[in-house]
Amino acid sequence: MSVITLQIPDTIELDTKDTIKFLSCKLFESGRLTLAQAAEVCGLSKMNFAKILSEYNVSLVNQAASELS
């Protein structure tokens, strides 16, 4: 697994775990990570990762409504 380092100003208070979950959710939402990959980044099972998606306004189903019919 690769390591990415972000430099965040000290004036911004970010929790590392919350930041990882947020980035994983948004990368999943954009299609850059699969559910399994995003869950792995967070150190969660797929089921537990799927449960946190709504905290970040991310849908588990990433398809347009027209693609579902």
**Tens of pLDDT, residues 2-61:** 888 988 898 988 888 999 999 999 999 999 999 999 999 999 999 999 999 999 999 988
Confirm whether 51 is domain-assigned. yes
Residue 69 to residue 64: CA distance in whole angstroms: 10
Evaluate whether residue 42 is within a structural domain.
yes
Tell me if 32 is assigned to some domain: yes
Domain-located, residue 12: no
Task: Let me know if residue 1 belongs to a domain.
Answer: no
Q: Is 66 left (phi over 0), alpha (psi -120 to 50) or beta?
A: alpha
Structurally, how many domains does the chain consist of?
1
Better pLDDT: 64 or 48: 48
State the pLDDT at residue 4.
87
Is pLDDT above 70 for 67? no
8 Å CB contact between 45 and 23: no
Domain encompassing residue 25 = 17-58
User: What letter represents residue 49's amino acid?
Assistant: F
Cα–Cα distance measured from residue 32 to residue 24, given in angstroms and rounded to the nearest whole number: 9
